[in-house]
Amino acid sequence: MVSISLYDVTVRSYISYDVTYGNVLTRLDYGNATLVGIPQYQFNRFQSMMNAAARLVFSASRYNHITPLLRQLHWLKPPEQVEFKLAVLVYKCRQRTAPSYLFEELSQLADFEARRRLRSASSSSLVVRRTRLSTIDDRAFPVAAARIWNGLPPHVTSAPSLPVSRSRLKTHLFRRCFP
Q: What is the pLDDT of residues 132-179, one digit of tens each?
A: 766 777 778 888 888 999 999 999 999 999 999 999 999 999 999 998
Taking 70 as the threshold, does the pLDDT of residue 3 lie above it?
no
The DSSP-derived string for the chain is: -----HHHHHHHHHHHHHHHIIIIIHHHHTTGGGGTT--HHHHHHHHHHHHHHHHHHHT--TTS-SHHHHHHHTPPPHHHHHHHHHHHHHHHHHTT-S-HHHHTT--BGGGSGGGTTSGGGGS--B-----S-TTTGGGSHHHHHHHHHHTS-HHHHT-SSHHHHHHHHHHHHHHHH--
pTM of the model: 0.79
| Mean pLDDT, rounded, for 5-25 | 56
In a domain, 112, yes or no: yes
* Pair (48, 116) in one structural domain: no
Same domain, residue pair 113 and 157: yes
Full residue range of the structural domain in which residue 18 is found: 6-75
Per-residue pLDDT tens digits for 78-136: 999 999 999 999 999 889 898 888 888 887 765 656 555 665 555 677 777 777 766 77
What is residue 83's predicted lDDT score, i.e. its pLDDT? 93
Indicate the residue among 54, 75, 96 that finishes a domain. 75
Q: For residues 23 and 98, state if they share a domain.
A: no
In a domain? residue 21: yes
